[in-house]
Structure 1
Amino acid sequence: MDIKFCVFVAASVDGYIARFNGKLDWIESVTKKDDIQDYGYHRFMDSIDCVVMGRHTFEKAVSFARWPYRGKRVIVLSRTLKEPPADFVERVDVFGGPIELLAVELQHWRVKKVFVEGGSVIQSFLSAELLDELIITKVPILIGQGIPLFGHLKNDVPLKLTGSQEFSNGFIQLTYSIPRR
């Protein structure tokens, strides 16, 4: 498959991507008000063609003051959401089928690089052996509980470290490739 499926995510040192209620306040608690680093996020976003996310991530994204995916095709995976809210009809497609079928559709649409976002969606793509790259920014905090980046996996997933970067505020970004089996 010619499509590259990638994750770009922040996680606490103990492996959580959000609190159970979806809040990300723990990230803000360790960043200074004048810290405007984007940790390569804008460069990453410039490199992708499409975003695939779950319904919960979509609901969080629509609550932001500014839609973070302008100019990108966004696909929301959901079996319960049949269509996006009226003000997002032009910006979002809803897909309720298997992700393997979505991967085939994306290939027909000539998509080259996909941003996979949201805990359960990341886990689904891992289980389907479709992920190619993980970019994980470790935030120097332990939050003890929340939504885990990785849940139960059927099999071990070997990773190859392809890059690492340390930031002055203690954040560490790790980039891994996932060899296709």
Structure 2
Amino acid sequence: MKVTVFIAASLDGFIARKNGDIDWLPSPSGEDHGYEALMRSVDALVMGRHTFEKMLTFDEWFYGDKRIVVLSSKPVVIPDRISAHVESMTGSPNEIIARLTGRGYRHLYVDGGVTIQRFLSDGLVNRLIITWIPVLIGRGIPLFGPLTRDVHLKHRATRSYPSGLVQSEYEVISPRAAVAEID
């Protein structure tokens, strides 16, 4: 299973304010930043309940008929208008990967702070694509949290956009490969 993280963060490393607001994100500028290509390449998007609930507050559902898996240990209310494409699951990242692999899924897009952190901590993320927004918000929900081990990354690309956004793409290197690169 290939797992990709595609997310925007403030320059000081936050993905949302403490209350979940993302009002600091710029308005869409017509620049795609690779989102459409990513969505065509993934079988499903896995997100946490808080991210899902935030996405429901927007007038537009951004995911079309793409399969969405919402991770939550609590019941999730899924509106009828998207219920054919959205489901709720509970379990560890490894259990989620096993279930979705069993369905034939080969590429997941993982979104949401805690969800990203859990998948990264469990060594399941292959690629990180972070779009840096040129704003400092001072505090909020961090993109990265505590880890049980170092996560080594290999820089793959950096793209800058006329809007001022800068996107960094990294491959996550397995611990064994990271040691080999250092030697």
- Following TM superposition, where does structure 1 have runs of at least 4 consecutive aligned residues deviating by more than 2 angstroms? 82-89
* Other structure's SS at 1:27 match: coil
Residue 85 of structure 1 and its aligned partner are, at CA, apart by 4.0
- Give the whole-Å Cα distance in 1 for the aligned partners of 2:174 and 2:103: 22
Residue 87 (structure 2) aligns with: 93
Residue 11 (structure 1) aligns with: 9
Residue 114 (structure 2) aligns with: 120
In 1, are the aligned partners of 2:43 and 2:66 still within 8 Å (CA)? yes
- Asked if 1:81 corresponds to 2:75, the answer is yes
In 1, are the aligned partners of 2:159 and 2:167 still within 8 Å (CA)? yes
Q: Which residue identity lines up with residue 54 of structure 1 in the other structure?
A: G
- Give the alignment's Cα RMSD to 1 decimal: 1.5
**Uncovered stretches (5+) of structure 1, i.e. residues with no partner:** none
The structure-2 alpha-carbon separation of the partners of 1:62 and 1:180, relative to structure 1 and needing over 3 Å to count, comes to same
Residue 86 of structure 1 and its aligned partner are, at CA, apart by 4.1
In 1, are the aligned partners of 2:153 and 2:172 still within 8 Å (CA)? yes
Using the size of structure 2 for normalisation, the TM-score is 0.90
* Other structure's SS at 1:106 match: helix
Please give the per-residue CA displacement for 1:38-59, whole angstroms capped at 9, x wherever unaligned: 2111111111110000000010
Residue 106 (structure 1) aligns with: 100
- Asked if 1:174 corresponds to 2:172, the answer is no
Using the size of structure 1 for normalisation, the TM-score is 0.91
- Asked if 1:56 corresponds to 2:50, the answer is yes
In 2, are the aligned partners of 1:83 and 1:94 still within 8 Å (CA)? no
In 1, are the aligned partners of 2:67 and 2:85 still within 8 Å (CA)? yes
- Give the whole-Å Cα distance in 2 for the aligned partners of 1:13 and 1:82: 32
